[in-house]
C-alpha cells in the first residue's frame, strides 16, 4: 500500500487495505507511564483501550515508554487494558 501524508504531516497507509484488530499477533503501544502490574497511562481519550479490546486474547500487547516504571498507577478504569510487556531504553518488563 502507498503511504500518504495525513493532516499532521505523518505518512500512513492510504487506507485501501486495512487489517482487522483480530488479525494482529503483536501490538506496540506508546505510553507516558506504566507500573509493575502492567497498567499504563497513555495520551488520553482511550484510543488504545478501545483498539486493544478488539484484539484476540492471545495478542501480545507491548508498551513502549521512555521512562522507568511507576510503583503503582492509581487512576485505573474498568475498560483499561493491561500490557503483557513493556520496553524502556534501559530494561524490559514482563507482566503476569
Q: Is residue 77 part of a domain?
A: yes
Q: Is residue 60 part of a domain?
A: yes
Which residue, chain included where needed, has cell 500490557?
83
The whole-model pTM stands at 0.80
Identify the CATH number of the domain in which residue 55 sits.
3.40.50.10420
- Mean pLDDT over 64-81 rounds to 92
DSSP one-letter code for 79: T
- Distance separating alpha carbons of residues 65 and 23, to the nearest angstrom: 24
Range of the domain at 86: 23-94
Report the catalytic residues.
Answer: 40, 49, 80
Average pLDDT of the residues of the chain? 92
Q: Is the pLDDT of residue 1 over 70?
A: no
> pLDDT of 7-51, one tens digit each?
999 998 887 777 899 999 999 999 999 999 999 998 778 889 999
Q: Is residue 40 part of a domain?
A: yes
Number of domains in the chain: 1
Summary count for the chain: helices (H), strands (E): 1, 8
Is the CB of residue 62 less than 8 Å from the CB of residue 54?
A: no
- Distance separating alpha carbons of residues 71 and 16, to the nearest angstrom: 43
Amino acid at each position: 500500500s502507498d503511504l500518504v501524508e495525513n493532516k499532521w504531516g505523518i505518512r500512513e497507509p492510504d487506507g485501501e487495505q486495512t487489517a482487522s484488530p483480530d488479525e494482529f499477533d503483536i501490538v506496540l503501544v506508546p505510553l507516558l507511564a506504566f507500573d509493575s502490574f502492567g497498567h499504563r497511562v497513555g495520551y488520553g481519550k482511550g484510543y488504545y483501550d478501545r483498539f486493544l479490546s478488539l484484539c484476540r486474547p492471545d495478542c501480545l500487547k507491548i508498551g513502549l515508554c521512555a521512562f522507568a516504571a511507576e510503583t503503582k498507577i492509581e487512576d485505573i478504569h474498568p475498560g483499561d487494558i493491561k500490557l503483557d510487556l513493556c520496553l524502556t531504553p534501559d530494561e524490559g518488563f514482563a507482566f503476569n
